[in-house]
A and B are shown apart, each in its own frame.
Chain A
Amino acid sequence: MSNSEATFLYVDDDPLSRDVLQILLHKVMGFSQIEFFEHSNNFVERVQALPAVPSIIFLDIEVRPHNGYEMLALLRDIPTYQEVPIIAVTAQVMAADVDKLRETGFTGLIGKPIDNRLFPQFVNQILQGQAVWHIS
């Protein structure tokens, strides 16, 4: 899969954060297939309605009604979503938070504020199957 064909899903209730990721993925990196959820209502149905299984799913943690951990669990219950990289994009980056992210099975973490100079490199690493755990 070449980078230009990669598809993304980002769930975050903060519109500014969604804008940042939109610019990074689209304007900076040139991806066009990016889906944004601003809440987690009917989460599974909406995920299954996506045109394609995303190459990477970015999840904020403080999302309602299902938070990031719950969304992760729901995604992993979908057979076709078991291998998809799921990256937490959150400002909750205390040691205990990171430990919990690891324990619950997140593929990686890109802490807020996102470092826009490193972000393209992180996305490429994740697409190549590497784990990325980064906090600015």
Chain B
Amino acid sequence: MMKLINLNLRSKLITAFLLVSVLAGGLIAFTANRTTSQALTDEVGNNLQRLADTQALAVGDLLARQTDALQSLSLNRSLREFSADQNANYLNTFGGDQEAILASILEIDEEWVSVGEDDLLIRRRLFSTAASELQTFRNLFPDQVEVFFTDEYGGLAAATDRTSDYYQADEEWWQIAYNDGEGAIYIGQPSFDESSQTFGLNMAVPIYDRERETILGILRSTYSLETLADLVLETESVRTGFEIGILLPNDQFLISNEGRMEAADETLLANLQGLEEAQYAEIEINGAVNLISQAQVTDITGVSGVDDLGWQIVVFQDELTALEPVNNQRRNILLTTFLVTIGAAVAAVFMANLLANPISRLTDTAADIAGGNLSARADVDTGDEIGLLSNTFNTMADQLQETLAGLEDRVEERTSQLAERSTQLETAAIVARDVTSVLDFEDLLERVAVKISESFGHYHVAIFLADEQDQQAVLRAASSEGGQKMLARRHTLQAGNESIIGYVLANKRHRLVADVNTEDVYFQNPDLPQTQSEIALPLQAGGYLLGVLDVQSKEKDSFSPDDITILQTLADQIAVAIYNSQLFENVSQARQEAEEANRIKTQFLTNMSHELRTPLNAILNFTGFVADGVLGEVNDEQVDSLNKTITSGEHLLSLINDILDLSKIEAGKMSLFVQDVNMNHILDSAAATAKGLIKEKPISLTVDIEPNLPELKGDKRRIRQVMLNLVSNAVKFTPEGEIHIAAGHEDSNIHISVRDTGIGISQEDMKKVFNSFEQIEHELYSVSGTGLGLPISKHFVEAHNGQMWAESELGVGSTFYVTFPVESEIPETAPALASNGYPAQE
């Protein structure tokens, strides 16, 4: 199957056409052959059957006519009288004594056998009037070769020829014909008569009296079958080429034309039994296939006794002969089919070529084009779809060729541009490398200027450095000879429109002079008389203008927009290099000092934390034990004092924690443990804390928190810390009055406010409250506070992308506002350790 698939189109088409034509031809041939053969064979069979029927009727008719004739003879008066006389003689001689009569007849019989021809006994029987009638009958019917009749007792009455016996009543034919006095027609089966060398059969009929009541005697004849055979069987078979025989009830077969009788072939018998219904059969006899048919020999009158003979006419025809027309037909069909198939094959090859050739040419062309021959075109002129496809293909190929040709041009163009650009980019790369590797600053500028000059082919490249106020620029490196002279005289230019460098210095953007003769800004430098065009670019880094890169060319219009872009890139790199080296020179020491200070600060904070926590452990716990009565009874006054000690200790601890938080925030090391936060929980908890804190103060607390606030993403503990800070601040700075906690949400923001009627904050102080280590001065400064709570809280709120601010009036009260966005991307970080708890405890 794979092989078929891999065949080329032509082979596939031929195969398909051939397959179809051979299949169709074969099918037609097969069907035609079958139906025609069957029809013809049936026809032959039918003919055989008809022949058998005809012959059976003819034989039956012939036999019937013979018996009719014999019966007619039996009515002859002479025969009657002769018989009657002889019967009367017996009666007269012996009376009714049957035995005596029989004895007498047997006596005569012995005499009959022994006497000569001339004996009266015989002569009386052969030459009587009755015998004469018999002779006449034989003359009329020559096939009735021997005729005689007996009296009623079987004794011979008259005969055409001398019979072998006188007494005939012991013979079968006699007894059947006599039929115990009832009478019947006898026709016997054929036998071979040696004397006449022919087949013959015996017929016998009774001779009745005139009233047809009494049998007077029996008339018998021997009928020769020679005529029957000649007339009916042999002639017919010779004429048509058939073989016809008569099958007898004893399975003997009379084949007339061979003049003999033989045992019927077993195969023939077996087939004849099944032939009752079918019209014909095919059998093999002696190695040859024959068609056979048969018919029962009957007499249409039905009274002659012929029907009782049980004869069958059997007709054969050799199949080769019989079916010759069939075979001829079959041969014709095969020949026709073969010719048609050959024709179809020729047509298939022709059609396949007709179809496949244009496609092949198209395929070859496509392969050519794929192989790089873009000018190849398909030469197909057919007006069909393939022709259309080829035209379309050619059009496409035209476009392809055109496109590729254009592309090649563009590629060439771009390649040269890129080559040039790559040189310049290489310069940029070298500059970048120099920037990092060259430590000496002046050396760096010198190398960069020379490198740019070489790569871009501009004769003068200079680098100016700006002073701190960007008021003037001093030449620090130059590539040309003129430039060296300028360096020697410390060439300096002022900011302003007097020169290109001054312009860049003043405006901080590049300035291009495409033609020096047309621009006022161009300042004719005596050291650089060849300059025709010039560009100056700012060297900017770290937000500062550090200097100017100046490039001058001996040709006009030397700087394309691409050149400007790449020069600006270079300028930026140079600027970074200058910036870094200046930082390196000026700032590195300060940085080291700052880092050291920072390290010392961290160490200090760590130590402070540790050194303070250990004694606080003892202070807070022992005080707590005493206050809780663990160590013995204490009175209320003592408990009060002890609790104040504990509060102070806890304040000290929160101070430590705040300082550590702040140092982490300042170091950028504070991280958030982001998870889902239920704001209702936090606010309820903060409100509960507030309720506890105001217990001993004349403050009323009102809470208006919207239920089911949306969840937000954030660090639960930090948000809680913010809320507690606001609530505790409110309590701390409100001697008496009211605290109101409110929360709600609008769109995607949660709003929280904590309002108090406390001491308030002045406009001036408001600027400081969110700054580190600034606690507002106030006469009520008895309240404790690190001053770090609000800055830390604000930091946490902003870390959640929220906002925190305050409104306040001195002496009236303050309101602190916090908003958190619900949908917010907060950087997920590792869980941070809090100063007052740990996530594992949450």
Contacts and interface: CB of A to CB of B under 8 A. Distances in A.
Contacts of B350: none
B672 to A, nearest CB: 13
Given A23-B621, A94-B660, A136 B614 contact: no
Nearest to B649: A113
B39 interface: no
Interface stretch (B297-305, B553-561, B623-631, B799-807): B623-631
A135 B614 contact: no
Contacts of B611: 91
Nearest to B606: A94
A43 B10 CA distance: 98
B697 interface: no
B613 A133 contact: no
A28 B629 CA distance: 10
B838 A16 contact: no
B617 A91 contact: yes
Contacts of B653: 113, 136
Contacts of A113: 613, 616-617, 619-621, 649, 653
A91 B841 contact: no
A134 B625 contact: no
Interface in A1-34: 14, 16-17, 19-20, 23-24, 27-28
B832 A95 contact: yes
Given A28-B630, A132-B840, A133-B841, A20 B622 contact: yes
Interface string B108-126: 0000000000000000000
Nearest to B832: A95
Contacts of A117: 624
A126 B300 CA distance: 132
A53 interface: no
Contacts of A127: none
Nearest to A16: B618
A123 interface: no
Contact of A112 (B617, B631, B669): B617
B240 interface: no
A78 B359 CA distance: 89
Question: How many A residues touch the partner, as a band?
Answer: 20 to 34
B631 A27 contact: yes
B628 to A, nearest CB: 8
Interface residues of B, number: 35
B834 interface: yes
B609 A133 contact: no
Contacts of B542: none
A131 interface: yes
B594 interface: no
Contact of B840 (A94, A112, A114, A133): A133
Interface string B818-842: 0000000000000011111111110
B490 interface: no
A19 B617 CA distance: 11
Contacts of B614: 14, 17, 91, 112
A23 B618 CA distance: 11
A93 B615 CA distance: 15
A111 interface: yes
A114 B630 contact: no
Contact of A116 (B606, B624, B835): B624
A92 interface: yes
Nearest to A95: B833
B610 interface: yes
Contacts of B837: 134-135
A135 B840 contact: no
Nearest to B619: A113
Contacts of B613: 91, 93, 111-113
Contacts of B620: 113, 116
Contacts of A84: none
A133 B831 CA distance: 13
Interface of B: 606, 609-622, 624-625, 628, 630-631, 649, 653, 660, 664, 669, 832-841
Question: Which 3 interchain pairs have the tightest Cβ spacing?
Answer: A91-B613, A16-B618, A113-B617
24 contacts: A16-B622, A17-B614, A17-B618, A20-B617, A23-B621, A23-B631, A28-B625, A91-B612, A92-B610, A93-B613, A94-B609, A98-B833, A111-B613, A113-B620, A117-B624, A132-B840, A132-B841, A133-B840, A134-B837, A134-B838, A134-B841, A135-B837, A135-B838, A136-B836
Given A14-B614, A114-B617, 16 more contacts: A20-B621, A24-B621, A91-B614, A92-B606, A93-B833, A94-B606, A95-B832, A98-B833, A99-B833, A113-B617, A113-B653, A114-B621, A116-B620, A117-B624, A133-B841, A135-B837
